[in-house]
A and B are shown apart, each in its own frame.
Chain A
Amino acid sequence: MTHATVPRPRETPARRVSVFLSTHPRARLGLLLSAPLFWLGIVYIVALVLLLVTAFWSVDSFTGEITTEFTLDNIIEVVTGSLYQTVTLRTLGVALAVTLIDVALALPIAFFMAKVATPRMQRILLIAVLTPLWASYLVKAYAWRSVLSQDGILEWLLAPFGGSTPGYGLPATIITLSYLWLPYVILPIYAGLERVPDSLLEASSDLGGRTWPTLRLVVFPLVLPAIIAGTIFSFALSLGDYITVNIVGGANQMLGNLVYTNVGAANNLPLASAIALIPIVIIFGYLFLVRRTGALDNL
């Protein structure tokens, strides 16, 4: 038996770097992380921190310039002002309602796709769920404006049964936002259900588990992180929205609208930053709560 010998690689500079890297994992890690951390650190974190700092500054009412002196006025105004409290509660309510509706709609679809449908059907359904994502967000919101309008298709469908369209307002906002984020909730839950092995379901059945106990005791704990991952999308996306509420929400305002008017028309970036702190705090709180469930790995 002859042994083929591996030829010694030539000593090129690239080879030397490669040898260095394979013997120094820390250097490899540093090289991998430097570019993305530079990008996210410089562009994103610095920008975000500077925005938060701005919340403690004020605008000179005379010149309209920003004064860089530390003040808590904006924070106090946002925390105690009744307008901000009302709008915060309204925004939270909308975001929670949208999240609940989306999870309730996504669970049966995702379950059907992952565990009941044939592979062919599964592929078709996945395409059916993904396709609406490609229609522009604005067009979909506008389509709902048309659907919900007084001479829209909903009125036309419901009128014979004595019903009528809810018109524009908070219900319309909740419907439209639920519609917009539904695919983002279905996808992680579907992926999570796909990862639940069928053998576990069979084992549960062999041990006498009926459908509901199996769903509750076996399936639910396994897909909970995926469900929470889905809620992060619907919750966070609803919390900051201001365009949908402009299109179908009538005169209602959400936190995003307050931020928007203060940046634009009112030209008060410090106050806008202080308002922006509200959703930031809420989302950080939410992410902190769900961190332990492993939901962040399911996004």
Chain B
Amino acid sequence: MRLSRLSRTTLGIVTGVILLVVYVPLFVVLVNSFSTSTSLTWPPPGFTLEWWGRAFQSAGAMEAVATSVQIAIIATIISLALGTLISLALQRFEFFGREAISLLVILPIALPGIITGIALNNFFRTIMGVPLSIWTVVIAHATFCIVTVFNNVIARLRRQGTNLEEASADLGAGVWTTFRLVTFPQLRSALLAGGLLAFALSFDEIIVTTFTAGSGVTTLPIFILNNMFRPNQAPIVSVIAVVLVLVSIIPIYIAQRLSGSEAERR
């Protein structure tokens, strides 16, 4: 199949237009963060830096960011461990119930968040009698983050095969040594990609969080939800959004560089 010049150009234009539309709302958010209007009117009536100043002095916002980062880091670490274990089990072994387990991993993300949310809320509060806290959020987040690690790692394991591991075993390395020196280094970039996605998923989650967070726990999405409709806070939310997008370019860039350099080596 050779695409004609015309169809290549058309595809390019379609892609460009869609991506342009994708960035319009983000652009509006950027402009709103400098707008003197608090009700997001367009075109913006005037320019101000007030919101940027206030956002960085807002203790609530800073605390919310810290809480979210904390939760996302712990949830990511747990899901990295559990996701790697499951992918090793499902990729390296044939056994009864294998399909069921892979469905089980996908389920927390495939079922609507509100169902996961009320199920866990009910489980923690009425069944276990545990008060909701930051840890109940971590447990909930880790549960649905496993799938991103699982997907990345299992795809890598599938591609890699077992030759190197068998060679390592033939040369006398034990199970641990083989994992540490052969399997793990090959998984490293898959773990990074999966971990980044897990972090992003946890950092932005609102629905399950609403149902599993204790009363004093304010993650960034909860902070945003609480402040979005307050006229004097809404522009601060825009500032936070702009900063998040700018900061996020760094991990995305790193992940891209890693997968890019790997593709060249292959």
User: A residues within 8 Å of B by Cβ?
Assistant: 6, 9, 14-15, 17-19, 21-22, 25, 28-29, 32-33, 35-37, 39-40, 43-48, 50-51, 54, 105, 108-109, 111-113, 115-116, 119, 123, 125-140, 142-147, 149, 151-153, 155-156, 179, 182, 201-202, 204-205, 209-211, 214-215, 218-219, 232, 236-237, 239-243, 256, 259-260, 263, 269, 272-273, 276, 279-280, 283, 287, 296, 299
Contacts and interface: CB of A to CB of B under 8 A. Distances in A.
Contacts of B69: none
B198 interface: no
B256 A131 contact: no
B93 A37 contact: no
Given A43-B143, A138-B224, A132 B26 contact: yes
B18 A109 contact: yes
Contacts of B211: 263
Given A138-B221, A232-B110, A259-B118, 15 more contacts: A18-B176, A29-B93, A36-B83, A36-B85, A39-B146, A43-B143, A44-B116, A46-B123, A116-B12, A127-B252, A131-B249, A152-B42, A242-B207, A287-B110, A296-B103
Interface string B9-32: 001101100110011111011001
B218 interface: no
Contacts of A144: 25
Nearest to B238: A139
Contacts of B176: 14, 18
A14 B240 CA distance: 50
B256 A127 contact: yes
A299 B147 contact: yes
Interface in B109-124: 109-116, 118-123
26 contacts: A29-B93, A35-B82, A36-B83, A44-B104, A44-B143, A51-B118, A51-B119, A109-B19, A111-B11, A115-B3, A126-B256, A129-B22, A131-B245, A131-B248, A133-B248, A134-B252, A135-B241, A136-B220, A137-B204, A137-B221, A138-B224, A140-B25, A142-B234, A152-B28, A153-B24, A214-B1
A166 to B, nearest CB: 15
> Is chain B's interface secondary structure helix, strand, loop, or mixed overall?
helix
Contacts of A35: 81-82, 85
Contacts of A204: 1
Interface residues of B, number: 93
A259 B19 contact: no
A109 B18 CA distance: 8
B62 interface: no
B252 A108 contact: no
A44 B108 contact: yes
A182 B40 contact: no
Given A6-B171, A29-B93, A215-B1, A242 B114 contact: yes
A84 to B, nearest CB: 16
Contacts of B29: 135, 139, 143, 146
Nearest to A215: B1
Interface string B203-230: 0101100010000000011001100100
A256 B112 CA distance: 8
Contact of B143 (A6, A28, A40, A151): A40
Contacts of A147: 24-25, 28
Given A123-B256, A131-B252, A33 B85 contact: yes
B123 A43 contact: yes
A156 B43 contact: yes
